[in-house]
Amino acid sequence: MIKTFSRFAFAAVLLASLVSAQDAVNPALRPPKGTPLAIVVFEDLQCPQCKREAPVVAQAAKTYKIPVVRHDFPLPMHNWSYQAAVIAHYFDSRSKQLGIDFRDYIFQHQPEIFPTNLQQFAQKFATDHKVDLPFVVDPQGKFAAEVNAERDLGKAIHLDHTPTIYIVSNNPKGRPFVEVKEPSSELFQMIDAMKRGE
């Protein structure tokens, strides 16, 4: 009788600790509502490694039919990434897909971009997509505030590099999130493991 009670008590404590661990997870490391699994990326549009890993992430999302949640995390040593992120948020406000396409376009042209010609690249993208791009993109500072909020989110979970890529899950039996250190070689296998609840 005592042994049986002990097992139940142990199971209850274990379940409570799993639930509290899930509750303690930063909301940034949870999948969007209604999806069991997602990829969360903190990226810097001027970061060469972010440019290299973006197609791998996109391919994984397409293969597994899971969403990618992208956050801007411009690093202080880069001299145009913050402004590019602000412009990306402007395009997000027009349509989420437009913002995604702009980020991919910036990655594609990354080696050619400098602080002095970023606006020209943004204008060409806007023209090609038949969207107006105002001369002053963010007069009220709304988009800058969004970029700052995403950067603060990254700081709150102690990010120190880009890209930082997580697979996040709402499966109570497995880990709530895991960081992918080597996306090119690990991302697909780690998604499989998270799907299995490992």
Question: What pLDDT is stored for residue 9 in this prediction?
Answer: 43
For 9-28, write each residue's pLDDT tens digit: 444 443 444 344 444 678 88
Amino acid letter, residue 165: I
pTM higher than 0.95 for the full model? no
Q: What is the pLDDT of residues 80-89, one digit of tens each?
A: 999 999 999 9
| Domains in the chain: ranges and CATH | 27-195 (3.40.30.10)
- Over residues 154-170, the mean pLDDT reads 94
112 CB-side CA count, 13 A: 9
The confidence band for 6, taking pLDDT boundaries of 50, 70 and 90, is very low
51-65 per-position pLDDT tens digit: 999 999 999 999 999
Tokens of 91: 């395009």
Q: What distance, in Å, lies between the first and last C-alpha atoms of the chain?
A: 33
Check residues 78 and 175 and name the one with the higher pLDDT: 78
